[in-house]
Structure 1
Amino acid sequence: MALPFQNVYIHRKVAETSSKPCMVCLKSSTSVLITSCQKDFFYICPVHLSDRGFATAMVDEAAEAEKKKKEEMDKELEKIKKEYEEKMKRKEEKKKDKDKDKDKDKGKEKAKDTESPDKEKPEDEKPKVEKAVEVPSFSEYQLHRNFFNIRLDKYREKQIAKRNMERLKNPLYFPAVPKDGPV
């Protein structure tokens, strides 16, 4: 027997106002897993998505390659920024050296007073960049066998209920009233 849909679910987010209970824990959730053919969907907490006993993330090789490329570009950018900052420091030091020569005539004390705030200022102005640890998020998941069978059973129950409602709406489904009198 052919399955009505494949065991490949796509992770989507919905608005806070559209949140519904999680299939597992019944807490309000904005994460939805939906099949690519859109025959089945359910709300799930992001915590359950990371659970190995519930679903397995399907790694998209193209997305992984793109992510690695982006990381390499970020590293290259950081390297270039550091080189630029070093060049700017050297340039400022040369400029200060020239200023020192001019200040020697005016007085040594003034030169020391003007140098110390300048040296502290660039260090204070530098923003400290801390990289946050990113939780890997995948877009496609494959449910484990037991959970997928539960989803299939629910889908089949919905289809049976739909057919039964259509039958109840059809007046020909019920038997006709006897036209002959009692014998």
Structure 2
Amino acid sequence: MTTSAAAATDGTVDLADALARCARGEQQALRLILDTEGGRMLGLALRMLQRRDLAEEAVQDGMVQIWRKAHQFRAGEGSARGWIFAVLRNRCLNILRDGRRLESLPPEALTAMQDARLDAAGAGLDALGDRVALKDCLTGLEPATRRAILLAYVGGFTHGEIAAIQSVPLGTCKSWIRRGLDLLRRCLS
């Protein structure tokens, strides 16, 4: 039995000392924290996230944060265990915030939604039907600008998603859309 496993079973682990050792770069101290608190950390993450894959990700990310921020722990301001679980809790809350609207959809449904949005944006000019003036104004735009506007306003993509689709920086994408909308406004008035 290793020292960390023995310490974890007899309950004599000093988590404050382990955090201080993590701050000094001692990897064994991080292993000790995981051996001692890992099960409880996973349990908390499972209760908060309701999915094992996300809970495991949260614990892993939490351990990385503990390693990186161990120097911020102040023993006089609270318990080491409380600090460790606060780091994990914050990571779980971030995961919940980041994925709240997509968490219940299976990956196949997300792919189908993405494909439908791309198809709708691709058919953008054809979908305008008898709106000849708007069609003419859109046709007058640069192809990249027109595609960015159609992806945003027909496909419903965010500027970040459009930048990724078109393989351009976010600022370029935003500029295309802003300038394109200005040109459309002038063309239609």
TM category, shorter: under 0.3
More strand by share: 1
Is the radius of gyration larger for structure 1 or structure 2? 1
Tell which has more relative contact order, 1 or 2 (C-alpha 8 A, sep 6+): 1
TM-score by length of 1: 0.25
TM-score by length of 2: 0.24
